[in-house]
Amino acid sequence: MNMLEIENLHVVVQGQEILKGLSLVIRTGEVHAIMGPNGSGKSTLSYTLAGREGYEITEGRILYRGENLALQTPEERAARGMFLAFQYPVEIPGVTTMNFLKTALNAQRRARGAKELDAMSVLKSVREAAGALNVSEEMLRRALNVGFSGGEKKRLEILQMALFKPVLAILDETDSGLDIDALKLVADGVNALRTPDRGILVITHYQRLLDYIVPDRVHVLDKGRIVAEGGKELAHELEAKGYAGLARDAA
């Protein structure tokens, strides 16, 4: 079954067309990687999928679990199992990380008609996820992302993913700013969610992360269009030739 179907997607941001006819299908159980140079439209794709205001679909469509994504608010998408790990996680002063996680988890549950969890149950789930990712209790007591290092912010994104157990996880340059140990932790976290009922979309600039999260398909994005597609070996080819080299071959 197709989890995500993107057909001829055109997206305009601040009057400028960034995505120019992108098509992509992710079937349930698959891991896809999108690679591309800076400015190719990678982040635009992730924000469009998550429903950020100002990312206007002018042509084409996105079906998520068979339904038109454009008709759903960002919070509805989250409640229906979509999760975006941000490239630049946002700071919210005065809101403890723990409180944020509890609020988000219960908002999603409420939207799905499930019972809200009490503080103790949330704490238990968070601790389970936190242990594997080396996220300390002290971090959970601090205000969300305030004063966190780059690596801490990224680990917290993956902790949220582990906690919310999304159906489709989109990782936007989660590897940027991570050292090799943190990268392995993050990859383990993602691989743990790799089950036949989920889909994962990894957006990255470098091939390095794909050594640890091995994709089923690789797509190369350039100037708002997919310019090359293939198996996991495409990532290595790209690493050897560079984006410019690949673009020449494609032409």
Partner 1 sequence: MAAIQETREHVASLGERYKYGFITDIEMERAPRGLNEDVVRLISAKKGEPEWMLEWRLGAFRRWREMREPNWARVHYPKIDYDKAYYYAAPKSSAKFANLDEVDPKLLETYEKLGIPLHEQKLLAGVAVDAVFDSVSVATTFKAKLAESGVIFCPISEAIRDHGDLVRKYMGTVVPVTDNFFATLNSAVFSDGSFVYVPKGVRCPMELSTYFRINASETGQFERTLIIADEGAYVSYLEGCTAPKRDENQLHAAVVELVALDRAEIKYSTVQNWYPGDEEGRGGIYNFVTKRGDCRGRASKISWTQVETGSAITWKYPSCILRGDDSVGEFYSIAITNHFQQADTGTKMHHLGRNTRSRIISKGISAGRAQNTYRGLVSVHPRATGARNHTQCDSLLIGKECGAHTVPYIESRNPSAQIEHEATTSKIADDQLFYCLSRGIGQEEAVALIVNGFCREVLQQLPMEFAVEAQKLVGISLEGSVG
Tell me the site size for partner 1, rule CB under 8 A: 32
How is residue 78 written in tokens? 């989250």
Q: Which is nearer to partner 1, 85 or 218 (CB)?
A: 85
**Which 39-78 positions form the footprint of partner 1 (CB under 8 A)?**
50-53, 71-78
Q: Which is nearer to partner 1, 118 or 181 (CB)?
A: 118
Short-list 227, 170, 173, CA closest to 51: 170
Task: Count, in order, helices (H) and strands (E) of the chain.
Answer: 8, 12
How is residue 31 written in tokens? 């891991």
Residue type, 59: E
Q: Least Å distance between CB 188 and partner 1? A: 22
Residue 169 near residue 201 (C-beta atoms within 8 A): yes
Q: Which is nearer to partner 1, 108 or 207 (CB)?
A: 108
Q: Which is nearer to partner 1, 110 or 241 (CB)?
A: 110
Buried b (16+ CB within 10 A) or exposed e, 48-82: bbbbeeebeeeebebbbbeeebeebeeeebbbbbb
From residue 111, give the alpha-carbon distance in Å to each of 49, 90, 176. Answer: 19, 23, 33
Q: Least Å distance between CB 127 and partner 1? A: 19
Q: Least Å distance between CB 47 and partner 1? A: 8
**Which 81-120 positions form the footprint of partner 1 (CB under 8 A)?**
84, 86, 89-95, 99-100, 103-104, 107-108, 111
Q: Least Å distance between CB 214 and partner 1? A: 27
Q: Which is nearer to partner 1, 91 or 181 (CB)?
A: 91
The site for partner 1 (CB under 8 A) is made up of: 50-53, 71-79, 84, 86, 89-95, 99-100, 103-104, 107-108, 111, 143, 160, 164
